[in-house]
Chains A and B, each alone.
Chain A
């Protein structure tokens, strides 16, 4: 019986350790978020979100590379990194403006207008980035 108790005790310890690890990472938060996200967001927005995730990854990769290899030439790093950050910001703004939840805030801006603004900003951004890359 002590052996069984020991075994149960060992199982409890194991459960507690996996539980505490899971609660540390907050797996249930992530799961809940994923449930709501897939339920609430329409397909158009999810495509934009995929693009956003891609840009974040590109930015992180550039930053890590710069941290490892060094900052020379700094202007090249800055122009690459800022182009990802800026595109992230602009795409998030596009997402906000398209999202029908926020229609009250953005009176008089149709989807087409949002997209044209977005394209215009991107043109000038990449002009500056190309000039700065050296």
Chain B
């Protein structure tokens, strides 16, 4: 009775007491703190990328992700074997495209595996949602791997700061928001993972870490073409180590095993195949591999042979090796066995190359050189902390620090050449800034500790007065800067990088939001109202979206692998209607699609891209001359001053059909183009060979049907 009740009450009291007295043991306090911090960073990195889902809906953004989405859907529905051997007859009509052999499958496999795992445990998530959220999920994982990388470079505190910085850095967020289902989302994770495992394998010299490093390199090679960066920077690092006299057996073990295993693994990807041993971009790695074998052999010989025997051996080896290398390289270059650097990567070394020789590469906005404002916009505080971090690295040089320095400096160069490569600079900037921040905080936090009562020999230099106060000011200043960084990153993510591009939004005069969903409207119309084997001609930007959402065959798409085919489409768009009709009949085109922004003020429309069509078309067909479309002063005009070639081109006619009678703005005449801000030149557009099939609500997408040829011997 009461005796049992008393005992129960006392055990309850005992439990409460033990909860109250619960203290983490001192030595585990830091581990607990790390886990909590990393947990918060993980959630933060995921949460900050969800703006577009909250504002619009869970939709795939932009152009390239639609191709990745379509291939992932195919992989999930058809299986691994069919995907690996997929020949797509719905794009690049009539050529088709070997998707199985020309795609980097890492992203698709990653999403498919996540989808299969979730469905296996009865969480029936839609494949679209898996794809939309793959990038934020991997961004969280990148933060964790950056923590490990920072920890390996210096210490745990650096790792934590690096993870915090990279979770919100705008340079990385731009390519990994929810909905941006693109290769970089998983590739940056693979990049940092490879670098972390590389530094770990150099530090330990264990074959296990080299094996993991080569597996991470395989994942990177499967995910993104930027794996070339890894396979060139690691040999560069080895060369720098040799030059610094830091050759060690650990370095030999790490590099040789990683290179050879990485090469055989990378060759399993169909898209890479034999390039891993044949293309010029991989030659540096092979050269350093052979060099390292030689250096190791000579260092072994030095233990075997006494002094002057060794000198004679060195002379012999150098003559033999030098002559054979020279002869081999000469033969292989002369016979063309080693292919020269391909266009995309050559333009990284010579930025002016693409503009003169390959207009298609030059026309992509992501390939333009970076402006100063982009650096600050994408990195903010890190621009200033980056050199400070370099300084701190140089102060305490070891094998790992040299790698961090090399990675950062080379990525700064590449980020300056191409805007898209800001992405590679962002993690380097975060790690080095973390070094700077954590070193500074360590110095000043030490001053904040109250000195012990016992007067030991003071470690702190007492000649500088008010040390605690200065330390407080410095720490407060740094905290303020980091808070400003956070505000900037959140603002940038919210305003600049969270737009789906497929759905547009604008503020009306009374402040309410109006949504332009014209693209999806047009593709849905195509899907519902055209024959299943209809062929759509449009400029290559929209190819992936048409196949992804409209599920129709297209002529050219964003893969841009065949310049002549694109030039044919460009020529068709720039020619007069009869000439264009001949080309369209040759290509079996049923519908033509153009994007027109004149009614709404949407600036990325086809009229603004028209000069690129002319240039690319003119690059292959000399009959199209760019000068014909520009006025005598060299201006690009579509009003009354526009040239006849411009005003009679198919593109002009398709964009401005029926526009001459449309009122666009209050107080302006009919046919006023809101993007170019002029009244159009030819207001009475008549179409002979095509007819209007569909125009979306805000006239952004216009679809025209190509009329079949007239019957011969028509009744008179």
Interface residue ranges, A against B (CB under 8 Å): 26, 28-29, 32-33, 36-37, 40, 74-75, 78-79, 82-83, 85-86, 89-90, 92-94, 96-97, 101-102, 105-106, 108-109, 113-114, 116-118, 120-121, 124-125, 128-129, 131-132
Contact = CB atoms under 8 A, between A and B. Distances in A.
A33 B305 contact: yes
Classify the secondary structure of A's interface with B: helix
B207 interface: yes
Contact of A86 (B204, B249, B260, B277): B260
Nearest to B205: A106
Interface string B544-579: 000000000000000000000000000000000000
Contact of A29 (B264, B274, B312): B312
The 6 closest A-B pairs by CB, nearest first: A117-B207, A93-B253, A86-B260, A117-B208, A36-B304, A89-B256
30 contacts: A26-B313, A28-B309, A29-B305, A29-B312, A29-B313, A33-B304, A74-B274, A75-B267, A75-B274, A78-B267, A82-B263, A82-B264, A83-B264, A86-B264, A96-B253, A97-B253, A106-B205, A108-B204, A109-B204, A109-B206, A113-B206, A113-B208, A117-B206, A117-B211, A118-B207, A121-B261, A128-B264, A128-B265, A132-B264, A132-B267
Contact of A106 (B211, B249, B265, B316): B249
Contact of B208 (A26, A120, A125, A131): A120
Contacts of A74: 274
Given A92-B256, A105-B250, A114-B207, 15 more contacts: A26-B313, A29-B305, A29-B309, A29-B313, A33-B305, A40-B304, A82-B260, A82-B263, A94-B207, A97-B253, A105-B205, A109-B206, A117-B211, A118-B207, A128-B268
A92 B205 CA distance: 13
B205 to A, nearest CB: 5
Contacts of B210: 121
A108 B209 CA distance: 14
Nearest to A96: B249
Contacts of B253: 93, 96-97
A106 B305 contact: no
B257 interface: yes
A37 B312 contact: no
A36 B305 contact: yes
Nearest to B250: A105
A33 B301 contact: yes
B479 interface: no
Given A97-B205, A124-B211, A89 B260 contact: yes
Contacts, number: 102
Contacts of B249: 96, 102, 105-106
Nearest to A82: B264
A4 B305 CA distance: 41
Contacts of B207: 90, 93-94, 97, 114, 117-118, 120-121
A33 B300 CA distance: 11
Contacts of A128: 261, 264-265, 268
Nearest to A123: B211
Nearest to B251: A105
A78 B277 contact: yes
Contacts of A121: 207, 210-211, 257, 261
Interface of B: 204-208, 210-211, 215, 248-250, 252-253, 256-257, 260-261, 263-265, 267-268, 274, 277, 296, 301, 303-306, 309, 312-313, 316
Contacts of A109: 204-206
Contacts of A102: 249
A131 B248 contact: no
A26 B268 contact: no
A101 B303 CA distance: 10
A9 B268 CA distance: 66
Given A90-B207, A120-B211, A124-B211, A129 B312 contact: no
A108 B296 CA distance: 22
Nearest to A115: B207
Contacts of B306: 32
A124 B258 CA distance: 12
A32 B206 CA distance: 33
A118 B253 CA distance: 11
Given A32-B305, A108-B204, A78 B274 contact: yes
A75 B275 CA distance: 12
Given A79-B264, A124-B261, A37 B205 contact: no
A86 B262 CA distance: 10
A125 B256 contact: no
B261 A131 contact: no
B248 A105 contact: yes
A60 to B, nearest CB: 14
Nearest to B304: A36
Nearest to A26: B316
Nearest to B315: A26
B268 A93 contact: no
Nearest to B260: A86
A125 B265 CA distance: 8
B206, B248, B301, most chain A CB atoms within 10 A: B206
Contacts of B305: 29, 32-33, 36
A82 to B, nearest CB: 5
A113 to B, nearest CB: 7
A116 B304 CA distance: 29
A17 B83 CA distance: 68
A45 B250 CA distance: 18
